[in-house]
Chain A
Amino acid sequence: MKFSFFHLMPYRWLPADFRERYHGVWVDLPNHLYDPVRGHQLYNEYLDMLEYADQLGFDAIGVNEHHQNAYGMMPSPNIMAAALARRCPNANILVLGNSLALYNPPVRVAEEFAMLDVISGGRLIAGFPVGTSMDINYCYGQNPATVREKYREAHDLVIKAWTTREPFAWNGKYTKLRYVNLWPRPIQQPHPPVWIPGLGSIETWDFCADFGYNYSYLSFSGYKRAQKMMEGYWERLAARGVDQNPYRGAFFQQVCISDTDSACEREWWPHCNYFFNNCLHLYPGMAGAPGYMSEASMRAGIVAQVGNTRQNMGQDKSWKELCEGRYLVAGSPATVRQQLEELARSLKIGHLALGFHIGSSPIDLTNRSTYLFATQVMPHLRSIFADAEDRWSPRPLPAKERTLPGSQNEGARRQAERPVAS
């Protein structure tokens, strides 16, 4: 199995009466609630957490894109990835990802991902989410009727830009460019591995099958509720004659580990409570702009779309309910080991994206959890799916061809700082 530390980067300082005073954490939450000085501290603290995961031997460290909210402060994940690429020499960089329809022209994504791949020596995983309706429709004004078609066209353009060695013209419906000619282009050939986050639509499964992409199921409802969804994915692949390689799937799970089960509840409950009840305080009036969902999804999810986003995502639940429902995998290293093994085997997924930072958790608590995972849990789960070939991880440059950040200055210093010749 492969393990990544996936960070959401929530804002930690929402006021105590936030839920009563504001209808949601996203889109129109006024930014006078954001203190940029505290934000400065938070960004650096959060990046420290990811750097620590790099030191502990995680396969990847992950960031994502959201806009205008206190749930996740990464409107530009590529900026975070760039900061990590320089400071973290080991782990792959999982950007999950860039919402393709938001970039004009989408070549921008091809360029920035290529830059990240080149800077990091070929360690980039390129994620292409459609994006939540809050992000892409309400914050970024994309038309819900056409945004999926625009996304697909942008995808085709990015892949072609990555894989074409001569300038070409792109006459798309949404993007028209006389000259597409990517400088730089990625190290990884033919292009970095692509992961597609989704929430269970057949269209997305087929998209992944068509192009051989990893399907990443990102929910906060935990692995028990995800089982049916992932079974649908594997059945769809089987029906289409695609192999059942577990590395075709990634799953996000929030995890907290303390020395004992009871210490875990005591230490983590306030921060998990902050996450489920503040960070996921979503206004249902902006859950899905009209047309964001297909007619079939609309019919299937008619209740979910119009009012009950709260019922599924863990709000107003006790610690016990969150743990029993596996919204959280929480407890001692032994408890977490057992539950994550169950997760891996029940979902048959090879890539596990783990949320170790939850809600308002501070760095000492978070790093303790990360450390316990890396030393007490990860080694026991490593061998699961050892027989399968992971074709969805980066293929970086060999170590001897990699340039370490700062190493060039060391070599140049003597010459640069020599006395001025008279």
Chain B
Amino acid sequence: MSTPLSRLIELGKGRPTIEVLEAGQGPALLFLHGAGGVPAWEGVLPLLERHYRVHAPLLPGFGKSTGLEYLEDQLDLTLHGFDVMEALGLERPYVLGESMGGWMAAEMAALRPKEIGRLALAAPVGLWRDEAPVADMFGMMPHELVPYLFHDQSCPPAQMMHAMTNLFSEKDDRTQDQVEILLSLMRGFRTAAKFLFPIPEHGLERRLPRIVAPTLVVWGTGDRFLAPLYARIFAEKIPRARLEMIANAGHLIGLEQPEPYARAVMRWGEGGA
């Protein structure tokens, strides 16, 4: 696994300071993370950096990024995405967003359609259907959340995540490092909750038809967190979108099936279908 470079960018007075992780050479790819952040350069990222210059900015509350208080609502968050894009010097980039980051990417593409060159949404949140409620990640214990995130509970990343949730158990013998890991997870969840609590839906569906960027929707066939029902809605409502289902993947596609996921993103980046 490679190590990305990390740098801090101050977006200006009254705006957040953000950490950006960057790796690889090639055309730019803006990666917007999900509610788990980017705790390690893993999943689809090391595969994509072989073909792209991957820029992964972290939202306030994740990593070393700060300034959540400057982002009050969903519009602020979307505009923040453009501020980051500009600070990174990216023009009409290829944007890949996972889960919460996918929602953010879709909002950006709907708000300023001409400023997003190409779009890939990996199991984005942002829609709601009563018949398939999105799992309440803010109202359960961490060890209860893990089964929603994987198709195969016995795969190594699922096992590792289960082991980590033991840190949340009632034992009181954590090391200082472990306490810091817990706190960083909680800070990230706090950011996610600010924009997604209690129902992760704020009208994106009626804005999806505004998107003009060529859009790929990627979804795991075994997603228990966000039912594949939502994949079809995204694909139908975004003009000319392409839907690619990844077999044997749950919600965290990158952790469970990184290769087919990366191939789909790269094919789409080359203009392929």
Name B144-190 residues within 8 Å CB distance of A: 144, 168-170, 172, 179, 182-183, 186-187, 189-190
Chain A: CB-nearest residue to B179? A302
Chain B: CB-nearest residue to A299? B183
One of B2-10, B19-27, B133-141, B230-238 at the interface? B133-141
Also in contact, A143 and B193, with CB within 8 A (given A289-B139, A303-B172) = yes
Q: How far is the CB of B42 from chain A (nearest CB, A)?
A: 23
Also in contact, A311 and B193, with CB within 8 A (given A302-B182, A302-B183) = no
Q: Which chain B positions have C-beta within 8 A of A286? A: 139
Q: CB within 8 A of B183: which of A141, A298, A308?
A: A298
Interface of B is mostly: helix
Give bound CA distance, A303 to B172, whole Å. 7
Q: Which chain A positions have C-beta within 8 A of B172? A: 303
Name B187-218 residues within 8 Å CB distance of A: 187, 189-190, 192-194, 197-199
Give bound CA distance, A141 to B189, whole Å. 16
Name A243-280 residues within 8 Å CB distance of B: none
Q: How far is the CB of A47 from chain B (nearest CB, A)?
A: 33
Also in contact, A295 and B187, with CB within 8 A (given A302-B179, A307-B168, A307-B169) = yes
Q: How far is the CB of A240 from chain B (nearest CB, A)?
A: 26
Contact A285 B140 (CB under 8 A): yes
Chain A: CB-nearest residue to B193? A290
Q: Which chain A positions have C-beta within 8 A of B194? A: 143-146, 291
Q: Which chain A positions have C-beta within 8 A of B190? A: 144-145, 290-291
Q: CB within 8 A of A289: which of B138, B144, B179, B187?
A: B138
Chain A: CB-nearest residue to B35? A290
Give bound CA distance, A143 to B198, whole Å. 7
Name A290-309 residues within 8 Å CB distance of B: 290-291, 295, 298-299, 302-303, 305-308
Q: Which chain B positions have C-beta within 8 A of A137? A: 197-198
A138 near B: Cβ within 8 Å? yes
Name B92-137 residues within 8 Å CB distance of A: none
Q: How far is the CB of A300 from chain B (nearest CB, A)?
A: 11
Contact B141 A307 (CB under 8 A): yes
Q: Which chain B positions have C-beta within 8 A of A295? A: 183, 187
Contact B168 A290 (CB under 8 A): no
Q: Number of A-B pairs whose CB atoms are under 8 Å?
A: 67
Chain B: CB-nearest residue to A143? B197
A284 near B: Cβ within 8 Å? yes
Contact B198 A138 (CB under 8 A): yes
Q: How far is the CB of B214 from chain A (nearest CB, A)?
A: 34
Give bound CA distance, A307 to B170, whole Å. 5
Give bound CA distance, A31 to B15, whole Å. 46
Give bound CA distance, A299 to B181, whole Å. 12
Q: Which chain A positions have C-beta within 8 A of B186? A: 290, 298, 305
Contact B183 A138 (CB under 8 A): no
Give bound CA distance, A188 to B190, whole Å. 41
Name A139-161 residues within 8 Å CB distance of B: 141, 143-146
Q: How far is the CB of B212 from chain A (nearest CB, A)?
A: 32
Chain B: CB-nearest residue to A305? B186
Give bound CA distance, A145 to B197, whole Å. 9
> Which residue of A137, A285, A308 has the most chain B CB atoms within 10 A of its CB atom?
A285
Q: CB within 8 A of A141: which of B170, B179, B198?
A: B198
Give bound CA distance, A305 to B190, whole Å. 14
Q: How far is the CB of A4 from chain B (nearest CB, A)?
A: 34
Q: Which chain B positions have C-beta within 8 A of A144? A: 190, 193-194, 197
Q: Which chain B positions have C-beta within 8 A of A145? A: 68, 190, 193-194, 197
Q: Which chain B positions have C-beta within 8 A of A289? A: 138-139, 193, 197
Q: How far is the CB of A145 from chain B (nearest CB, A)?
A: 4
Q: Which chain A positions have C-beta within 8 A of B68? A: 145
Q: How far is the CB of B226 from chain A (nearest CB, A)?
A: 19
Q: How far is the CB of A131 from chain B (nearest CB, A)?
A: 15
Contact B182 A290 (CB under 8 A): no
Q: Which chain A positions have C-beta within 8 A of B179? A: 299, 302
Give bound CA distance, A88 to B214, whole Å. 70
Give bound CA distance, A141 to B197, whole Å. 8
Q: CB within 8 A of A138: which of B72, B139, B187, B189?
A: B139
Give bound CA distance, A286 to B172, whole Å. 20
Q: Which chain B positions have C-beta within 8 A of A146? A: 72, 194
Name A312-356 residues within 8 Å CB distance of B: none
Q: Which chain B positions have C-beta within 8 A of A291? A: 189-190, 193-194, 197
Q: Which chain A positions have C-beta within 8 A of B170? A: 303, 307-308, 311
Q: How far is the CB of A19 from chain B (nearest CB, A)?
A: 17
> Which residue of A145, A290, A298, A308 has the most chain B CB atoms within 10 A of its CB atom?
A290
Chain B: CB-nearest residue to A134? B139
Contact A285 B144 (CB under 8 A): yes
Q: Which chain B positions have C-beta within 8 A of A302? A: 179, 182-183
Q: How far is the CB of A139 from chain B (nearest CB, A)?
A: 10
Q: Which chain A positions have C-beta within 8 A of B139? A: 27, 138, 285-286, 289
Q: How far is the CB of B192 from chain A (nearest CB, A)?
A: 7
Also in contact, A306 and B193, with CB within 8 A (given A284-B141, A290-B138, A298-B186) = no
Q: How far is the CB of B225 from chain A (nearest CB, A)?
A: 16
Q: Which chain A positions have C-beta within 8 A of B193? A: 143-145, 289-291
Q: How far is the CB of A280 from chain B (nearest CB, A)?
A: 16
Give bound CA distance, A286 to B190, whole Å. 14
Give bound CA distance, A377 to B262, whole Å. 75
Name A117-149 residues within 8 Å CB distance of B: 137-138, 141, 143-146
Q: Which chain B positions have C-beta within 8 A of A306? A: 141-142, 168, 182
Contact A285 B187 (CB under 8 A): no
The 9 lowest CB-CB distance pairs between A and B, nearest first, are A145-B194, A290-B189, A291-B190, A290-B193, A285-B140, A285-B141, A290-B190, A306-B168, A308-B170
A137-B198, A303-B172 provided; 9 other pairs, C-beta below 8 A? A27-B139, A144-B193, A146-B194, A290-B138, A291-B197, A295-B183, A299-B179, A302-B183, A307-B141
30 contacts between A and B (CB under 8 A): A27-B139, A137-B198, A138-B139, A141-B198, A143-B198, A144-B190, A145-B68, A145-B197, A284-B141, A285-B140, A286-B139, A289-B193, A290-B189, A290-B190, A290-B193, A290-B197, A291-B189, A291-B190, A295-B183, A298-B183, A298-B186, A299-B183, A302-B179, A302-B182, A303-B170, A303-B172, A305-B186, A306-B182, A307-B168, A307-B169
